[in-house]
Structures are given as C-alpha cells and as structure tokens.
Chain A
Amino acid sequence: MEEFFQQLTNGLAVGAIYALIALGYTMVYGVLKLINFAHGELFTIGSYLGLTLLTSLGLSGFFGPVLGVLLLALMVMGLVAVVGALLERTAYRPLRESPRLSAVVSALGASIFFQNAVMLIYGARLQVYPQGILPRTAVNLFGLYLPLVKLLILLASVVIMAALYVYIHKTRIGTAIRAAAIDQGAARLMGIDVDRVILIVFLIGPALGGLAGLMVGLLYGQINFTMGWVYGLKAFTAAILGGIGNIPGAMVGGILLGVIEAMGAAYISIAWKDAIAFVVLILILIVRPTGLLGERVAEKV
C-alpha cells in the first residue's frame, strides 16, 4: 500500500511537468489547429538557456534561492517566448492559408532545426545544472518520501493553470483568443486582431514550455539536446488525452499520464510502461473520442 502511494506521488510530480508542456501544445492547437511539433524543442531551449543564465549570472548567490529562481524563471520564460514568437513568424505565418498538413511538416522541420542548433551551439555532450540551488529537503508524510521541490512544482503548475484559465475566460484578450479559436474569420470580422492573438498565444505557450524545461533542469540536473523529442511526444499525448484545445484538459491529461506511467511501471513492467500509457490512451479515445474533457473548440462540420 505504501508503495502504491509512493508511486502515485512519483507520478504526480512527473505529470506536473507534462501538464505544463501540454498547456503550450493545447493553446497553440486551439487557435491555429496546428500541432506544434517544435514545442518539445522549445522546452529544451528553456532548460539550456536556464543553464547559461544560471552559470553566467550566478543568480542564486546574489539574490538568495527563492528570488533568484523566480528571476531566472521569468528571464527564461521571456526568452523562450521570444523564440516562440519568431518561430511563428518564420515557419507558421506564411502557411496560415495553406493546407494544415504543410504547417505540420514545417513544424517538424523546425523541430529538427532547433534540436540540431542546440547540439551545435552547446555541444553534443549532456550538460548538468549546478547542484544545490534548490533545497533538497523532503517531507516525510506517513512514511512516504515527498521531496519539497516536487510538491512546489506541482503547486506551481496548478497555480499557473488556474491563472491561465482565468486569463482565457475572464479577460478581454482571453475572450479574443477563444473567439479566434472558434472561428478566425468571424473573429476578424468582429474587429479582433487575429495576428495579435496568435502572437500572444505563441508567447504564452512557449513560455510555459520553457519554464518546464527550466524546472526539469533544476530538478533532475541533467539535460541533453534530444530530450525535447520524448517530452514533447508525451506532452502531446497528454494534451490529446485531456482533450486538445482544452486548457484544464491539458492539465488533467498531463497529471493522468504521469500517474499511468508510474503505475504501469510499478505494477506491470518498467520496460513496457510507455506502451501501456499509449494503450490506455487508445482505450480512452475509443470510449471518449474527443478526449476526457472534450474539446472546447467547435468542430468544422
């Protein structure tokens, strides 16, 4: 029983990271109907930029751990957001009027490009975050080992998701985003600057992905240029699981995927855990074809 809860918490922590990345996928999909395959690389870029900033600016020593990490997070998010906006401008905007699949290929090309760019700039060897930035304390609740940092990440993800939800549903810009997601043409007719909306989406989504990258670097210490591929695929799976285009869906999907993986590893087989996650996904989709929480976007009929 103890193992069950321990694995559950393990899964939740992993799932929180998936959820953050999945949020980025789902937002972009909602507005552009595009699966941004390059999103995983934005995650990688976030973690590498975090490393560079950390080592060159020595933030934690200067400001103390909490403030330092916060500042680092803001900087990384800002930088990755810029990269995301540039990506949109160069690789996706020219293809707005084109068939959807062309944009997908462009996204794949962008993914390859970024991955290799990171490899060439930072070298093919894996990089390691300096240790000791985040506190290593763990809470010991009922004999379960719960690292404080993972709890914080989980908390942060929930807070961010809540904030995002409020933003999308309660602010004017959020409404504009939702309108553009439903029908770009009609939104334009209503006076909404769709280009601006898309730009904002490509600032927020990549920022979240970059933040996830930074968190992974701080939490696990080791980063390498190929990690975006796997994380990106899993996050995409999570987004679909929850219902693509649906923000709470991405959150639920991410956490659920993390838990399924941990449980699959614990009770069936570690070697098969990814296959198990996909099987569960397929089963869920057979029963609920638009994902667990369904889509929030109207379907073209």
Chain B
Amino acid sequence: MITYGVVTALLAMSPLFLNKYWVDVLNNVGLYAILGLSLNIIVGHAGLFNLGHAAFYAVGAYTAAIFNTRFNIPVLWLLPLCACSAGLFAAIVMRPIIHLRGDYLCIVTIGLGEIVRIALINDVFGITGGANGIFGIDRPSIFGIAIRRPHEFFYLIWGFVAVAVFLFYRLENSRFGRALNYLREDEVAAEGSGINVAHYKLACFVIGAAWAGMVGNVFASKMTIISPESFSFWESVLIFTLILLGGSASIPGVILGALLIVGLPEVFRGIANARMLIFGGAMIAMMIFRTEGILPPRPRKYTLSDDSSGESRA
C-alpha cells in the first residue's frame, strides 16, 4: 500500500522535474493505462479474447472529432457522447456474436477492427475524412483555461486515470465484477448458477467500449488531428499486450503494462533501427520469466467473522 502511495506522489510531482518530452511520454502512458483498464474488464476479468479494441477507441475519437469540427461543441462536453456512441456501437455489433467461443471471438474482433478501419479510410457516409482523417480539433479547456502544453495535459489525463482507477476498482469488487470472474473461470457453472452469461459478456464489452471511447475523445483533442492509421490492428495488439505484460485483471498491473509498452520503445530510441527488434525480444522474455505478468492480481480475500459456524463450510 505504501509503495503505491509513494509512486502516486512521485507521479503527481513529475511534471515539475521532467522535461516536456518525458511528460508527454507519461501522457501517452496515461492514455494507454485507461485503454488498458477498459480492455481489462473484457480480457482480464471476463476472459474474453478481444483483439479489436481499437475500433471502440476509434469510434470515440471520431465522434469527438466530427462533433467538434462541425458543430463547434467544446471537446470535454463531448465526453459523455463519445462514451455513449462507443458503447452503443459495441452493444449493436457484439450482440449477434457474443456467444462465440474463445478463438472465434478473437478473429471476429480482429475483423471488426479492420472493418472499422477500412470504413474510416473509405470515408463512410462522407464524414470521416478518409485517409486524411479529421484535423483542426480544438484543444480541451476547463472553465476557460485552455489545455495545450504537455504539463497541462498531464494533469487532465492522470486525473482521468485516477477517476478510472477508482471506478474500476469498485467495479472489480462488486457483484458484477465477481460474476465476470466466475464466467471466466467456468462458463457452464456460471450459467448454471443463474448468471445470464450473454448479458454479462455484452455488458462488459459495452463498459469497456465506453471507456475506450472517452479515451478517444482525449486523444483526439490532444493530437488535434486523427487519421485511420492510429486505429489499426497493431494498436489493438498493443493494448492487449500491455494488459498481459503487466498482469491482467490487476489495476496496478495494467498501469505498469502501459508504462512498459509506451516507455520501452522510447527508451530504446537510442538503438534507432533495432528498436522494435529488442522490443519484440523483450516481450517474449517477459512472458517466459513472468508468465502471469509482472504484477498479477492477488486472490480475493474474504475475512470470516467469528460467529460463522463450521458446518456451512463443509
């Protein structure tokens, strides 16, 4: 607990002693942390194989971009809209295929990601700007203070991370979270215990998508331009990988994973051309040496109160 406290304190003070570049790296870590948390609900807690998360991310980002550039609505006000559009999108597309098993779900989510990306490139309905993407998105502003520099974004993004961590922590430890874990461990038993498996699976996709959509909003306003390249299959792979590297179903694990996934390629910049080679090797090594991820979740603990009698435990 104390380590988390110290780390949080250091993080909060970091813009004071880091230069712009490293603050921006931390900004990206923050965004990926929330993306990781949103996918974690699906992959880590419910055990569903989702490799198309970038599609939800894209829906949120493009919603923000389109509404901001066409109707001049300030970006931060669009957060709820982005969450809804991404969540709704997930609800609609996942509904017919939610019952698919493991690896089939995997390929379908990959397919979804690709379909969304291709639709964006082809300027579907004429609103996505095609390969050019959408540019001229406003930067966010809170009560008139514009957020432009990396330091300012830092507090916005990590504030957002704090809210996400809190909410996901509550979700993990709620009935919903426990139900998800149950169906991850043994779907048939869960169904037998009265959990409507399809309903829960769909719900976790919607929640994950909604959060990803909100991150898309922040991403769009940070970059001020978005294009389909940022939402490729590779992006989904990155988010997926960071969860597993850091420890799936574990909040500190996901944040650590985000730090590794964003930080390592930056640290490896010195090796220029061989940057990604080393990164690939590092991924393999990490999986071999810490299979559960670096910070796997601790098992749930329940304290027994003194007056529970022995027989009900038999």
Contact = CB atoms under 8 A, between A and B. Distances in A.
Of residues B122, B241, B288, which shows the largest number of chain A Cβ atoms within 10 Å of its Cβ?
Answer: B288
A90 B240 CA distance: 22
Interface in A118-165: 119-120
A120 B276 CA distance: 11
A91 interface: yes
10 contacts: A95-B287, A98-B292, A108-B241, A108-B283, A110-B284, A113-B280, A113-B283, A116-B280, A285-B104, A289-B104
Interface stretch (B95-103, B141-149, B201-209): B95-103
B195 interface: no
Interface stretch (A71-79, A171-179, A181-189, A270-278): A270-278
Q: Which secondary structure dominates chain B's binding surface? A: helix
Nearest 6 Cβ contacts at the A-B interface: A109-B283, A112-B280, A113-B280, A278-B111, A116-B277, A98-B291
Contacts of A301: 188
B280 A289 contact: no
A240 interface: yes
A291 interface: yes
A274 B100 CA distance: 22
B127 interface: no
Contacts of A7: none
Contacts, number: 124
Contact of A244 (B103, B108, B237): B103
Contacts of A91: 284, 288
Nearest to A278: B111
Given A101-B244, A117-B277, A301-B188, 5 more contacts: A105-B244, A109-B286, A120-B273, A237-B110, A289-B101
B96 A116 contact: no
Given A116-B274, A236-B107, A285 B279 contact: no
Contacts of A114: 280
Nearest to A100: B102
Given A109-B281, A233-B110, A285-B97, A120 B122 contact: no
A289 B277 CA distance: 37
B23 interface: no
A270 to B, nearest CB: 10
B245 interface: yes
B282 interface: yes
Contacts of A99: 291-292
